[in-house]
Structure 1
Amino acid sequence: MADMWPEVATAKEENRRELNLHGPEISERIEKRGFDKHVFDLVGLNYLDVRKTCMTELSVSVSKLVNLNTLILHNNRLTTLPESVGDLKKLKLLDVSSNKIESFPNLDGLTELQSINASGNQLSAFPGVSTLTNLHILNLSHNELQALPDGIGDDKLEYLAQILADNNAITQVPDDLANLVRLHTLDLSFNKITELPSQLSECQKLKEFNVKGNKFKDRKLTKLVEQSHGKSVLNFLGVQLQKEQASEMGKKGGKDKKKKKKKGGSKDEVEELAKDIIDVLHFPSETGIIVQVKPAVLSVRPYFVCCIVRKLNFKKSLNMFKRFITLQTRLHDTICEKRQTATIATHDLKLVKPELVYDARSPQAIRVVPLFKSSEVTAAKLVSDLRKEADEVRKEKKRNTFSGIHKYLDLLKDKAHYPCLLDGDGHVISFPPITNSDKTKISQDTTDILVEVTSSSSLDVCKKVADELLREMLVMGVGTPVEEAAEAAADGGEGDADAIQKLVVEQVRVIDHEGGLKVVYPSRTDLPLDIYEVTRE
């Protein structure tokens, strides 16, 4: 066609997948005749780059480019984007930086989106991002935002690693950013923030943290921000968090753990302090979980205990779920001795299909979907990829040692077979000591979890680790509150539903390949500490 731009005609004739339209000549065409509408007939395009032009609006017809995975509209004169951008279901990268955009369309349907760059615009608000579960990078720098987008701390955003929101008018930082398990860069410099949530200290992978140019109420924090890098600020917030948690525990100890009068005694005679409760449910013969241990695993990683913890509430506070994940990491580093003696795994019970089998198989025979991944790989490839990644990280950081999951790889060195836990469909749900399966991953909505502890040292080690995990969960307050109204009323008080915590733990049986009982946990000899009360049904 005569009015078709030559670049567009060539792309159509050669069935090209990419189209680049840059610079003064393109800008002059747009100014004289408008943007070539034939671009939107190129339905095979997966890459469209229009930059440094005078384009002021994007046609709603952009939704016709159904195969588009990259849309770059950098440095134009756009003031808005059409809602039809939300129809580009395959879009992975959206760059609309350095325009004059004042409002942004809803992006809820763009679940493949990995990178958004909307920096250098005139945005006063940005739509919610909680549904963008593949988002890695969010750049909202140099706008007029008064708040970060709704849902930015949603734990479903498990890939979100970079948040750049400097040079805005943001006044508050959501404390649930601690839910972002991969967040390593957070730039909130030159905003209007006066306080930082202490929970930010629980962002374990946060390395680049910039909050300079804000006016904080706390003078010590202000001084740290001005003179130090982000690590010192996070350490300061960590101390604040510990003080807050200690204060909570102190209030609970003084307010909730009431002393109870002995019947018939004087006012000065009291019983011991009321204790939290671990309520052990005996193995239910009809519906109980059984784990069969195969002979092959006995020479690899032979010791295994398992239990179910029910009626959990990870939504009791904004950071409760994050604290539970942090707890597992801490136990791996302490009582588990860097996973050298034991490994903990937790699964969402409703996603686990009985009967379970604990076995050892060749690395090529084990296929698993690792945590935070979407594709199934063999254990051999997973370990190989992790080793390569570890070497690259070590060289890049100029270190002599591994960090993160890489430091556990030597636990499998020279092993001909790897341990694995399989569900009733034969799917691998755990590959200790490396990873769980993403298929049974727990979330904030999880109420019942299956806990497994494996070891190459001893059964006693497994039990001690499981005991410690349950104790820490009880202290954390993730269990069920016990009503004490009757006792409080007897003392002339009002009662407090959160006074005593109860953790409901159901036994799981582990049997050998012939059906003989190996272990049931927790048994009567387990959970020996006297800081809580154990009841058994």
Structure 2
Amino acid sequence: MAMEEVRNAGDARELTLRGPHISKAIEENGLDEKLYGLTNLNYLCISQTCLKQLSPKLGDLVNLTNLVLHHNQLTALPEEIQCLTKLKFLDLSNNQIEELPFSITKLSNLESLNVSVNKLLSFPPVNEMKSLHILNISHNNLQELPEGIFDPGLVHLHTIMAGNNEMEHLSPNVANLPHLQTLDLTNNKLKEVPAELSVCPKLKVLSLTGNKFSDRRFGKLVEQCLTKAVMEYLNKNLKKEKGQNPDKKAKGKSTKLTKKDLKKEEDDDDVEFLTDALNVLHFPDKGGLVVSVTPAVLSVRPYIVCCIVKNLDLQKTSNSFKQFITLQTKLHDTLCNKRQAATIATHDLRSVKGPLKFDAQFPSHLMIIPLSRQKEVTGETLVEDLLKEAEALRKEKKRSTVSGIHKYLDLLKDKTQYPCLLDSTGAVISFPPITNSNNTKISKETTSILIEVTSSTNLDVCKKVCDELLVKMLEMNLGKDFTGDEASSAPGQKSLTVEQVKVTDEEGNLRVVYPSRTDLNHPGITVNRNYE
């Protein structure tokens, strides 16, 4: 929308101003003051401009529920932001803000606050923000978490993203957040974390990599991204601090081997030495595939794991390709909990132009050619069309539920931005949890694929899903058979070749590499790593 159109948008409910032409207009004439008279606005987005300041008249937009101001050059906010009492979503990421007004604490209906990638040295108390669900303060200069963040009254707070700051201490009061699910403190200056962290009953994702912990054993667990093991380790320390013996066996529990155990040991002794093999190739020094995660996607769908499978033969049998597609569907319904826990996408590597970017875009800006279609559409249009299809199918079949892709549309409900994976040209190749791009779809002729697993819950589930997919592919004997000097396995032995993919933040700091040494720990399968 051009700046001139602002004058004629008196009845508008949503307004988006972004990009070079808007930036040029702001640079030449400033932000059009008529904008502040659009009091009916519910949604306002100003992004990717040279905007440095906002007028106190911002407080006149009292009906705003969503205010998006990311990727500008803002240095401050007016105190009058406190007048936006209906605000639920506020995105100030990627600006130059050094200090937030204290009045921001009056936004009691705010559910999501993103101030990542700024220059904040301090943060106002947040204990009055009783509706807060997600707080993203990553990539700043903060030395501690905001005052009041451990207030028991913050009953909705489930995600705290505070990586890439200057924090040296985490309070034991973190145990006061019983609904905390995600805590990211990567790349800070922590030397230890309180054992009380293990008391948080719903904490599923704990990211602490990039800190220099004095406890070296704990540090190793952290660097391996093993949330469950880290929590168990902290829990043992907590029991020690309370004078309990964490290794004490349960009273009356027998340690004798049963006949069943002995029989299992006998069976294990009879197993042949030959086992199926997963051959893991180390991330190449040149030409390795990297996926960078943007701050924008962290509050939408923050977790992604990828790997490359080479030397595939999807035509080994007449049903190999169909079985592989069926496998993904089955995993979506089971291990991925109908895509609520995670989503799998597979791409023909020949069509993937790296490096890749995992980002979040507004529905009207996300452009994709959906799987099995030829025409490019916006994410907004695609979802609207699918909703109409779903409603038509319900009426036709006289059912209250739908099947196929339509049953996943609820996962996007109330999402202001949609997650997407983009290639180096800016083209969207994946829109989880809905569809892939038709441009990178796999076929029977595909010999190398990129596997992408994303999640909004935690990193461990991404790894678990990827592990299971690779193991099942190995069991289905989808690896190409070689002869002579190319042979990498013994006669009758199944093998699969997997290459590591790195996931980093925008600054190049490593988030995860998969498969790592701790992945693919599956009985009955040999894992050969070319870097050991």
TM-score (ref. length: structure 1)? 0.47
Please, what TM-score do these two structures have when normalized by structure 2? 0.48
Question: Bigger radius of gyration, 1 or 2?
Answer: 1
